[in-house]
Amino acid sequence: MVKLRKLMSLGLACSLSLSVLAGCGAKAADEQVIIYSNADDEAITAMSNALDANGYEGRYIFETFGTSELGGKLLAEGTNLEADLVTMSTFYLQSAQEQNGMFLPLEFDVNTLEAVPDYTAPITSQEGAIILNTEVLAEAGLDKPASLQDLADPKYAGQVAVTDIQSSSTAWLMIQALVSAYGEDGAQEVLHGIYENAGDHIESSGSAPLKLCRAGEVAIGFGLRHQAVADKADGLPIDFVDPTEGNFSLTESVAVLDKGDATNPEAMKMAQCIIENGRAALQQTYPNPLYEGEGADSANKSAYPKTFDQPLTFELFSAHQALSEAAKP
């Protein structure tokens, strides 16, 4: 009798669910979409504003993670990930798809300037550059560096801040440039000199070198170019140098989880909304053009845009993390 009651209760629960879910085991269309993201606050705000302005306010939850943490979850959990929608470094999405087959082909047009996988739509592109505090540089009587290799010169000791690739992919922009220009052995040698000059300022946050430059604690940092361009335009004593080794970039993209019958049908619609209604606001902070019809002003056009000669994968990222560790004093 107890067993029968349990079965009846289960049947009743499933029947009640049918009215909402259109099938036991399917995901409710009115259930909140869970969005996992490694994006900066500015990008989260732009995406949230686009969703809210187009009828999705209160129908989603953003949960943010560091790049390495979220990348680890994607690779380890696959379609068991709690999220319905992800915005993340594109190279991690590609590696996760290759390993786990976890994303759906997008059901809307993605008219990008360059070909992208059919399960991703880029939301931002971020380039690396050398960042300067012009006042601190002048006070120290130091010349403006022209290259990343210059940052290894002992005359810059104590005046350099960089990011650790173990915790932030921003550092990968610098390491790609070094490996591309000098090969792995040469890159490790130059990186060793940069790390020696940085001392305690091998930072865990991608924005930390810029913040240290802003505060006048160091004269030179490596970080995201668009942030330095914005600071200079705002009248701060911040300038930037496009390193002769090249301005390398990383994109972040949106992808929709393939959970079979449990896929939230609103996730695809929200991905489309972010791309179609959020790009204008996103490009105000992240100015690199990604889609047909987009452009950038002269200040946001780097002098030496380059692409690494191998596909950007988690495996390559891990190899460059190992190179970085070997270069540390």
**90-118 CB burial, b ≥16 within 10 A, e <16:** bbbbbbbbeebebbbebeeebebeeebbe
Query: Strand pairing of 202-203 and 160-163?
Result: parallel
HSE toward the beta carbon, residue 12, CA cutoff 13 A: 6
For the chain, domain boundaries:
2-124+250-299, 127-249+302-327
Question: Cα 41–42–48 angle (5° rounding)?
Answer: 85
> Could you give the CA distance from residue 173 to residue 183 in angstroms, rounded to a whole number?
15
**Does CATH place domain 2-124+250-299 in 3.40.190.10?**
yes
> Any idea which fold 127-249+302-327 has?
D-Maltodextrin-Binding Protein; domain 2 (3.40.190)
pLDDT for residue 327? 98
Residues 6+ apart with CB under 8 A from 260: 79
Query: What's the first-to-final CA gap in the chain, in angstroms?
Result: 72
Please write the tens of the pLDDT for every residue from 35-59. Answer: 999 998 999 999 999 999 999 999 9
Please write the tens of the pLDDT for every residue from 254-306. Answer: 999 999 999 999 999 999 999 999 999 999 999 999 999 999 889 999 999 99
> Could you give the CA distance from residue 275 to residue 157 in angstroms, rounded to a whole number?
44
